[in-house]
């Protein structure tokens, strides 16, 4: 068990144990809460509010980073231990990553374990396009495929593909805690408006720009279930 309040580099510790329980400043009732989790009275449902690096050399590392000119992929990444001895000078990998640690964190922002297993499917948006005075609803189905009743923190992430300043690859825009019985499915909805898509421009004033957005719903910042919508400059004339 680790009692802490900040990200740690835990690769060496984790190699020696089967599981870890993190308690982020649990307070006076931390003991009974941890006991309930250890004995299966309750399922863990906490999510990490920070990114945990593989090693200190990866810092700073965070989920809402800017896209690089050469983003890393599994196909492009090669660990330094796998580079042939006496390899001639070359653009090995030709992508942005740490040769000794890779490009992925040990635990991503929003990560968390549960005694249940949750699956996400059927993501959809209420409108493929909406105007500055309107909203869009993003929905997905969450299914408890496990054998116990448990809480899940459903998370919504958005990416603005083009802006007058560079935009993060993902931004958390909403989350909901839901409780599902074994086998239960539930459709979870999030409502987004122009204010939710605003950012500080070059003059440091808050602005909302029209354009295409990607959106994800999942259990962490590594969510893969995604769709897209477009914010248009004028209100959709077909809607009243």
What pLDDT score was predicted for residue 87?
75
Q: Mark whether 68 and 153 lie in a shared domain.
A: no
Instruction: Report how far apart, in Å, the C-alpha atoms of 98 and of each of 52, 72, 82, 108 are.
Output: 15, 10, 13, 16
Mean pLDDT confidence for 14-27:
60
User: Residue 153: in which H helix or E strand, if any?
Assistant: strand 150-160
C-alpha 39/C-alpha 22 separation (Å) is 16
Which residues are bridge partners to 141 per DSSP? 121, 187
Q: Is residue 194 part of a domain?
A: yes
Condensed to tens digits (0 to 9), the pLDDT of residues 106-121 reads: 999 999 999 999 999 9
Tell me the average pLDDT of the chain: 86
Q: Which CATH number fits the domain that encloses residue 2?
A: 3.40.50.1700
What is the pTM assigned to this prediction? 0.85
Q: Is residue 25 part of a domain?
A: yes
Structural domain including 37 reads 1-115
Between β-strands 129-130 and 226-231, what pairing exists: parallel, antiparallel or unpaired? parallel
Q: Which CATH number fits the domain that encloses residue 191?
A: 2.60.40.10
First to last CA, the chain: 56
Q: Mark whether 85 and 126 lie in a shared domain.
A: no
Q: Is residue 238 part of a domain?
A: no
In the chain, how many domains are there?
2
| DSSP assignments along 108-134, one per residue | -TT----SS-EEEEEEEES-SEE-TT-
C-alpha 223/C-alpha 179 separation (Å) is 19
Mean pLDDT confidence for 17-28:
65
Q: Mark whether 220 and 207 lie in a shared domain.
A: yes
Q: Which of 64, 98, 115 is the last residue of a domain?
A: 115
Helices (H), the chain: 11-14, 30-38
What per-residue string of b and e applies to 141-179 under the rule 16 or more CB within 10 Å gives b?
Answer: bbbbebeeebbbbbbbbbbbeeeeeebbebbbbbeeebe
């Amino acid at each position: 068990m680790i009692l802490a309040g900040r990200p740690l580099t835990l690769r060496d510790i984790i190699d020696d144990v089967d599981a870890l329980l993190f308690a982020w400043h649990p307070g006076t009732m931390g003991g009974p809460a941890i006991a309930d989790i250890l004995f299966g009275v309750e399922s863990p449902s906490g999510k990490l509010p920070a990114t945990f690096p593989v090693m200190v050399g990866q810092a700073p590392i965070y989920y809402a980073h800017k896209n690089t000119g050469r983003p890393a992929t599994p196909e492009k990444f090669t660990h330094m231990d796998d580079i042939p001895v006496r390899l001639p000078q070359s653009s090995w990998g030709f992508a942005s990553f740490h040769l000794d640690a890779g490009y992925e964190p040990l635990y991503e922002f929003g990560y968390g374990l549960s005694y249940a297993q949750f699956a996400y499917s059927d993501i959809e948006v209420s409108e493929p396009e909406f105007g500055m005075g309107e909203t869009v609803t993003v929905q997905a189905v969450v299914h408890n495929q496990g054998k116990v009743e448990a809480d899940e923190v459903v998370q919504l992430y958005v990416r603005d593909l083009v802006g007058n300043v560079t935009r993060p690859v993902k931004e958390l825009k909403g989350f909901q805690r839901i409780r599902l019985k074994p086998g239960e499915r539930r459709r979870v909805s999030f409502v987004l408006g122009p204010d939710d898509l605003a950012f500080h421009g070059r003059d440091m004033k808050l602005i909302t720009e029209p354009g295409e957005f990607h959106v994800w719903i999942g259990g962490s910042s590594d969510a893969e279930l995604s769709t897209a919508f477009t914010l248009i400059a004028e209100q959709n004339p077909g809607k009243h």
